Structure 1
Amino acid sequence: MVDNKRTFTAPQSLLESNLTFPNDEPSLTTITVTRERCVDPSLIDSFLRFLRHGSDDIIRQKLNNYRKASSNGKNKCKEFLKQELYPNWQIRNNIISFCENEAANIKTETDQKFNNIGGSVIEPITDARIDPYAARERVEEQEAQYRDWTKVTEWVANNRKIEQILTSTTDGILRQNCEQNEDYLKQFSRFCKDNA
């Protein structure tokens, strides 16, 4: 197993803002993501909540702040997207992708460990007449082996769905407050390619 990890820091604009958070939850501004954190994602969830609240949850307020600071409406939107929103979305996307890759690695390692190495089965299946509990134990062992993979895969799917809802809602708000005919989700894809 490769000891994989990545550190993420919230965008500077978020760190400089005086955000207040619901339930007085302490804000987590930097996180090192590992396989263990993907399997038990409570810390990652806190970090994602911080990022989501700092951009998508209060987007109207953020746009108003930029509007006050800039006389040109188009520039204020571009500035907000480039400095705050897209970097925030990119970090969230990268964290979820990291865990998605770890889930694939867990699956591959577990397949190799549990099933085959070079095409031969490691553990012979015991005849049920000799050990009537062997089949059940084997199934339980297999379920245990794949539990982490299932947990991370479900977490990734759930967070992809959350991101899809948030970015879609934010896209609608941006169309109302900035350029009506812009596709902000496509712009974000270009931003990610340019800042990979």
Structure 2
Amino acid sequence: MTQPSPHPTLTPQFCFSTVALRDFLRISRASIDDSITQNLNALYTPAGQGFDPSSTSVRAPRPQNSRQIAPSSCRAFKDQVLFPSWQVRSDVLNYCASVATSPDPDDPESVLRQVESERDRERVVNERLDPYSARFFPREARTEMLAAVVRQERSVEKIIRARSWGLVGERCGGDFREWEEAMNEWRKAREK
């Protein structure tokens, strides 16, 4: 069975290095969600029912539940691989969101932004002479950039989880809850 994503060391530097943050998310998604079909196929054991030699004599459409995975295998996959990986990614995104909303005294560009802001206040704009002179693009604080990255990655995460959960529901059968509800129940069961 696939292993859940390992928990990275969470530091503000990890979050501010958006390349490291996105690489972690990309690798975690690739190993679990992007290969969800292969992971589920690995749980399927067609020889469990035994081979029926008469099945090759007549061509018949495949029954609807012919590719259903055993409920115990599905439960183990969800509880030991899928939900823990999602939880790690949620923990990382929540931590980085808290870093993005905290004050950042170590921001290397804060002085530069203050100087640009002062210059902007002193600028005299004559749009008649230069219609583009009113344009001013202030630098974003790195916390603002991180907040935008976290928002974007959370949106991606929702889409990926909905897709993965749909495939799990299709192959495992019987679970018609939304992924959020199933994950919340898993979290509550873990807390006990």
Partner of residue 54 from structure 1, selected from 31, 54, 59:
31
Residue of structure 1 equivalent to 2:168:
174
Q: Within 5 A, what are the aligned runs for 1:77-88? A: 77-88=74-85
Amino acid at match of 1:158: Q
Unaligned runs of 5+ in 2: 49-68, 111-117, 124-137
DSSP 3-state at the match of 2:10: strand
| Contact preservation (8 Å) 1:13, 1:83 | no
TM-score by length of 2: 0.65
Establish whether residue 105 from structure 1 lines up as the match of residue 102 from structure 2. yes
Structure 1 moving runs of 4+ over 4 Å: 69-72
Whole-angstrom CA distance in 2 between matches of 1:171 and 1:165:
10
Partner of residue 9 from structure 2, selected from 32, 35, 44:
32
Identity in percent: 21
- Measured after TM superposition, the shift of residue 133 of structure 1 is 4.1
Change (3 A) 1:172 1:70: farther
Residue of structure 1 equivalent to 2:3:
14
Higher relative contact order (CA 8 A, sep 6+): 2
Over alpha carbons, which structure has the higher Rg?
A: 2
Instruction: Summarize deviations over 1:64-107 as a string: whole Å, max 9, x none.
Output: 11123995611111011011100000000000000001111137
- Measured after TM superposition, the shift of residue 193 of structure 1 is 3.6
Residue of structure 2 equivalent to 1:76:
73
Unaligned runs of 5+ in 1: 1-11, 16-27, 115-131, 138-142
DSSP 3-state at the match of 2:8: strand
Residue of structure 2 equivalent to 1:157:
151
| Contact preservation (8 Å) 1:31, 1:44 | no
| Contact preservation (8 Å) 2:7, 2:88 | no
Whole-angstrom CA distance in 2 between matches of 1:35 and 1:52:
22
| Structure whose residues are more often strand by fraction | 1
What value does the CA root-mean-square deviation take over the aligned residues?
A: 3.2
| Structure whose residues are more often helix by fraction | 1
DSSP 3-state at the match of 2:169: helix
Change (3 A) 1:80 1:190: same
Whole-angstrom CA distance in 2 between matches of 1:78 and 1:70:
20
Amino acid at match of 2:142: D
